A and B are shown apart, each in its own frame.
Chain A
Amino acid sequence: MENIKVILEKCTGCKLCVKACLFNAIEMVDKKAVIKDNCNLCGACVEACKSQAIQISKKSAESRLSGRGSEEKDLSAYKGVWVFAEQREGKVIPVTYELLGEGRKLASLLQEELSAILLGDKLDGVPSELIACGADKVYFASDPLLSHYRNEFYTKVIVDMISQYKPEIFLIGATTTGRSLAPRIAARIKTGLTADCTGLDIDTEKKILLQTRPAFGGNIMATIISPNHRPQMATVRPRVMKRCAKQDSRNGEVINVKPQLSGEGALTEILKVIKVEEKVVDLQEADIIVSGGRGLGRAENFSIIRELAEVLGGAVGASRATVDAGWIPSYHQVGQTGKTVGPKLYIACGISGAVQHLVGMQNSETIVAINKDPNAPIFNVATYGIVGDLFEIVPLLTKKLKINGVRS
Chain B
Amino acid sequence: MDIIVCIKQVPDTASLHTLKINPKTNTLMRDTAPAIINPFDENAIEEGIRLKEKYAGEVTVLSMGPPQVEKALRDALAMGADNAILLSDRSFAGADTLATSYTLAEAIKKIGKFDLILFGKQAIDGDTAQVGPGVAECLGLPQITYVRKIEIENGKLRAERTLEDSFELVEAELPAVITVTKEINTPRYPSLKGIMKSKKAQITIWSLKEMSIDSDRVGLEGSSTQVIRIFTPEMRSKGEILQGTSEDVVDTLINKLRERKVL
**Which residues of A are at the interface with B, using a C-beta cutoff of 8 A?**
1-3, 16, 19-24, 37-44, 46-48, 50, 56, 58-60, 151-152, 155, 175-177, 179-184, 186-188, 190-196, 210, 214-229, 267-276, 281-282, 284, 312, 320, 323-324, 326, 329-331, 336-337, 344-345, 352, 354-356, 358-359, 362, 365-368, 374, 377, 379-389, 392-393, 396-397, 400-401, 404, 406-408
Contacts and interface: CB of A to CB of B under 8 A. Distances in A.
Contact of A396 (B122, B144, B250): B250
16 contacts: A21-B30, A22-B13, A38-B66, A48-B25, A58-B221, A186-B130, A187-B133, A196-B127, A226-B225, A267-B173, A271-B169, A274-B160, A281-B165, A383-B239, A396-B246, A404-B254
Nearest to B105: A187
Contacts of B67: 37-38
A400 B251 contact: yes
Contact of A183 (B126, B130, B141, B165): B130
Contacts of A39: 93
Contact of A330 (B68, B176, B183): B183
Contacts of A187: 98, 101, 133-134, 137-138
Contacts of B68: 38
Chain B interface residue bracket vs A:
35 or more
Interface of B is mostly: mixed
Given A48-B25, A187-B98, A366-B262, A379 B66 contact: no
Contact of B126 (A215, A218, A330, A358): A215
A169 to B, nearest CB: 14
Interface in B152-179: 158, 160-173, 176
B224 interface: yes
A379 B230 contact: no
Identify whether the interface residues of A are mostly helix, strand, loop, or mixed: mixed
Nearest to A217: B13
B211 interface: no
B90 A366 contact: no
Contacts of B138: 187
Interface of B: 11, 13-14, 16-19, 22, 25, 27-30, 32-33, 65-68, 90-91, 93-94, 96-98, 101, 122, 124-134, 136-138, 141-146, 158, 160-173, 176, 181-183, 186, 216, 219-221, 223-233, 235-236, 238-242, 246-247, 249-251, 253-254, 256-258, 260, 262-263
Contacts of B246: 388-389, 392-393, 396
B172 A267 contact: yes
Contacts of A381: 235-236, 238
Contact of A222 (B14, B133, B220, B229): B229
Nearest to A377: B18
B220 A3 contact: yes
B216 A44 contact: no
B25 A216 contact: no
Contact of A217 (B124, B129, B141, B144): B124
A193 B130 contact: yes
A176 B94 contact: no
B47 to A, nearest CB: 16
B224 A183 contact: no
A188 B130 CA distance: 13
